[in-house]
Amino acid sequence: MTRRSAALTFALAMTAAAHTEPPPPPRIELPVREVDLSDGTRRYAVQLTIGGVAMDAGLDTGSTGLRVLAPRLTAPLHGGAASQYSYSSGLIIEGRVTKIAVQFGLAAGSVPVQLIEKLGCTSIHPECPGKTLGVADYGIQGDGLKNEGFPAILGINMADNSVTNPLMALGVVRWIVELPQPGKDGTGRLILDPTNEEVANFTRLPLIPALLTRNSGVHDAIPGCVVRTDTDAKFCGPVMFDSGAPGLRISLPEFNSPWPAGTPGQLVVGGNGQNVALAFTTGRREQASGMFQERIGANAVPHISAGLMPYFGWSVLYEPNAKSIGLKPR
């Protein structure tokens, strides 16, 4: 081989290498199991390790950030910026944010974690679950019931927050949530970086950009309506999925009576010719379709929290880079 041909071969090899796609991140599947509180509320747990301590965390697609009750960690952690966060239940948690080593199956690294040191309630919900128990006796997502709930909460919705979504902080590009389905055996799954084949048949729906900011007071959402199929009455607005909130909650400036139990309906989400519908009947526990309404301030954004219902009917794909949620019938 001449020097010229060798140089050409080397150049071609370098060009090919430059255009080689990087290998996809490894696929990781974590079991999700249902945990029922003594009051009948469904919760969902994922096991992870925080600061060397293995524990269950409540899986919550309605909040952002990994947060742990400080007394549950064996090694005391010092420093960190002060942080406060509130939930729709009215619970306020206060503490510090610091980077801690965490592990989700084979995914591991240091991510921002809020160490919860104090509990309180908002003025709107002064009787919230954090009123009667201190941090030492409290369980997250335990409805204020002693010795129930979890030592940590894994908030994985995609909205911006000062405590970053821990999956995104670890470099996870996309994930699928499949909760255990009522009446069926087996656990659910949280799939980190699913393969291209696994995500091929999802219908992608764009997020509403105005609800992606931390100051909106609402987490990631897609356009949609709750439709009463026997009369065509409907409520429309941003629709949020929330694995930590049982029931279908309509939030409007004016009060309307919820539809009675047994009413046939559809949850319709999407837009731009990509509507996806899920049929339900109000008041069915197996569908998480108990219907509630709350009045919000005149300047607040009317919205719909679909709660657990979407996860019983769909596999849900989260793609933060594409700012979309994907749905596939189960």
Q: Which of 34-48, 66-80, 154-168, 262-276 has maximum average pLDDT?
A: 34-48
| 251 and 110 in a common domain | no
Q: Is the pLDDT of residue 192 over 50?
A: yes
Q: Is the pLDDT of residue 179 over 90?
A: yes
Mean pLDDT for the stretch of residues 133-156: 91
| 267 and 142 in a common domain | no
Alpha helix (H) residue ranges in 154-307: 166-169
| 129 and 253 in a common domain | no
- Which of 9-13, 109-113, 204-208 has the weakest average pLDDT? 9-13
Residue with tokens 């206060």: 94
The domain that holds 313 is classified in CATH as 2.40.70
> How high is the pLDDT of residue 214?
36
Kind of pairing between the strands at 248-252 and 28-36:
unpaired
**Higher pLDDT, residue 299 or 111:** 111
What's the structural domain count of the chain? 2
**Higher pLDDT, residue 93 or 312:** 312
| 86 and 142 in a common domain | yes
Q: What is the phi-psi region of residue 232: left when phi exceeds 0, alpha when psi lies from -120 to 50, beta otherwise?
A: left
| 220 and 183 in a common domain | no
Q: Is the pLDDT of residue 4 over 50?
A: no
Cβ contact 65:156 at 8 Å: no
> How high is the pLDDT of residue 127?
83
DSSP 27-55: PEEEEEEEEE-TTS-EEEEEEEEETTEEE
| Residues spanned by the domain of 156 | 28-192
CA gap 316, 176 in Å, rounded: 5
Mean pLDDT for the stretch of residues 303-323: 95
CA gap 248, 291 in Å, rounded: 5
Mean pLDDT for the stretch of residues 41-52: 96
Cβ contact 327:320 at 8 Å: no
Residue with tokens 């970053």: 164
- Which of 74-83, 131-140, 277-286 has the weakest average pLDDT? 74-83
Confidence tier at 299 by pLDDT (50, 70, 90): confident
Would the pTM count as exceeding 0.85? Answer: yes
The domain that holds 145 is classified in CATH as 2.40.70.10
CA gap 224, 1 in Å, rounded: 66
| 247 and 186 in a common domain | no
Confidence tier at 210 by pLDDT (50, 70, 90): low
Q: Is the pLDDT of residue 88 over 70?
A: yes
Structure tokens at 21: 């796609």
Domain membership flag for residue 107: yes
